[in-house]
Amino acid sequence: MPLRNLLLAVTALMAPLTAQVVVQATLLQRTVRSGGNAVAWPAPGGDVTGGAGMSVVGAGAVLEHTVTPVDVQVAWRLQCQPPWIGTANVDVEVLYLFLSATTTPAVLQLDWLAATTGNGSVGVMVDVHDDGVVDATGSAAVPLVVGPSPIYVRVRVTGAANAGTASSWYTTWHWTGSVAADLAMRLVPTHASVAKIAEPCGAGAPELRVAADFAGGVELAAAGAAHDLGALVFGFAPTGPFVLPWAPGCSLAVTEDVVVLVDLTEPLVANLGVPDAVRPICFDVQCLGVGLDPLTVVAGAAFRVDAP
């Protein structure tokens, strides 16, 4: 029965899961140069898992990496603009390794924003699985499966711009090009979809974030320090909305099949296990903030989780 499945899943709520993707990044090559100045460090072959900044006047590249239980985010920023006369170049290539102990379907989301002026040129190349096949040269969404085998992703960004002066008929003018580009690469699990079905009822409502995690479950993050306690309400669609007592203008958007009391005086992060034994399952979740003196109830946003 659906209710039994939900009850089984909620029993794991207060036992946060720790499984997540581990990222390693190796610098394969780097050229960051402007005129006679060039970056000498980090050296090719070095570990840049913690990120890296490489810049001289007129050229630069910055890599940043963030790993959480619900996603992996990689950010690149590059710029080229010769300060006066000469050439600025950026050519950086990194090999990423994604490791996970569990098998999770995911998507690699790529957002590429680039702007050039004058003679500036810029490009990006992403090779998922490092098999010699270019999977993206711009914004894209590449489906893949993370774990248990490692996944390699090769990323290369290039940029170049020139500047100089020219004279004719006693007139001298300066010309230049420039490059500015950002690459955002995000690895997101897709074993469960999450959609917002109701907005919070107003100012002071508790915050709730819901997202599929890399452990095959769903992460719930709630906060609402202004409330004495909170309640996570789980239920099946469709329902309501049901107007809440002690809360003018607030509605409960989910059925009250399971209610879990939580402490919102400190940020709450918990994981709801959704193993194969309870799938398929579709349920709603909403966070309520409760004040005791006087008695008030405030409804936050509600979400629908579909785990096939």
Cα separation, 199 vs 206, whole angstroms:
11
Claim to verify: residue 48 and residue 169 sit in the same structural domain: yes
Q: Burial, 245: exposed, middle or buried (Cβ in 10 Å; 0-12, 13-18, 19+)?
A: exposed
Are 242 and 150 contained in the same domain?
no
- For residues 126 and 146, membership in a common domain is answered with yes
Instruction: Identify whether 9 is part of a domain.
Output: no
- pLDDT for 240: 56
Q: What is the pLDDT of residue 197?
A: 87
CB-facing half-sphere around the CA of 296: CA atoms within 13 A: 16
Stretch 243-271: mean pLDDT, rounded?
A: 77
Q: Is the pLDDT of residue 202 over 90?
A: no
- Lowest-pLDDT range, 19-23, 84-88, 154-158? 19-23
163 and 177 in contact (C-beta within 8 Å)? yes
218 and 129 in a common domain: no
Look up the CATH number of the domain holding residue 259.
2.60.40
Q: Give the domain-ending residue among 189, 205, 226.
A: 189
Last residue of a domain, one of 172, 189, 206: 189
Q: Which of 102, 98, 91, 197 is nearest to 153 (CA)?
A: 98
Instruction: Annotate 59-115 with DSSP letters as a single string.
Output: EEEEEEEEE-SS-EEEEEEEEE--SSSEEEEEEEEEEEEEE-SS-EEEEEEEEEEEE
Same domain, 123 and 261: no
**Domain presence at residue 60:** yes
Give percent above pLDDT 90 in the chain. Answer: 53
Same domain as 202, residue 171: no
172 & 72 share domain? yes
The residue-averaged pLDDT of 205-234 equals 88
Q: How confident is the model at residue 85 (pLDDT cuts 50, 70, 90)?
A: confident
In a domain, 16, yes or no: no
Q: What is the pLDDT of residue 9?
A: 47
**What is the pLDDT, as a whole number, of residue 8?**
46
Do residue 118 and residue 180 come from a single domain?
Answer: yes
Same domain for 296 and 229: yes
Q: Give the model's pLDDT for residue 1.
A: 39
Q: Does 15 map to a domain?
A: no
Q: What is the pLDDT of residue 7?
A: 46
Whether 166 is in a domain gets the answer yes
- Residues 199-238 as b or e (16 or more Cβ within 10 Å = b): ebbeeebbebebbbbbbbbbbbbbbbeebeebbbbbbbee
The confidence score (pLDDT) of residue 242 equals: 61
Q: Give the pLDDT mean for 53-76.
A: 93
Assess if residue 2 is contained within a domain. Answer: no
The span from the CA of 73 to the CA of 217, in Å, is 19
pLDDT at 261 over 90: no
Q: What pLDDT shows up at residue 156?
A: 98
**Amino acid of residue 8:** L
Q: Please give the C-alpha separations between residue 292 and each of 90, 206, 297, 298, in angstroms, as whole numbers.
A: 59, 15, 9, 12
Tell me whether residue 63 is in a domain: yes
In this structure, are 216 and 255 located in the same domain? yes
Mark whether 78 and 182 lie in a shared domain.
yes
Number of domains in the chain: 2
Element (H, E) at 144: strand 140-146
Q: Are both 45 and 150 inside the same structural domain?
A: yes
CA dist 250 and 240 (Å) reads 12
Q: How many CA atoms lie within 13 A of 177 on its CB side?
A: 17
What is the residue range of 225's domain? 191-307
Amino acid at 238: P
Instruction: Please identify which residue in the block is written with the tokens 């769903």.
Output: 218
pLDDT on residue 115? 97
Tell me if 1 is assigned to some domain: no
Choose the final residue of a domain: 171, 189, 207: 189
- Assess whether pLDDT exceeds 60 at residue 17: no
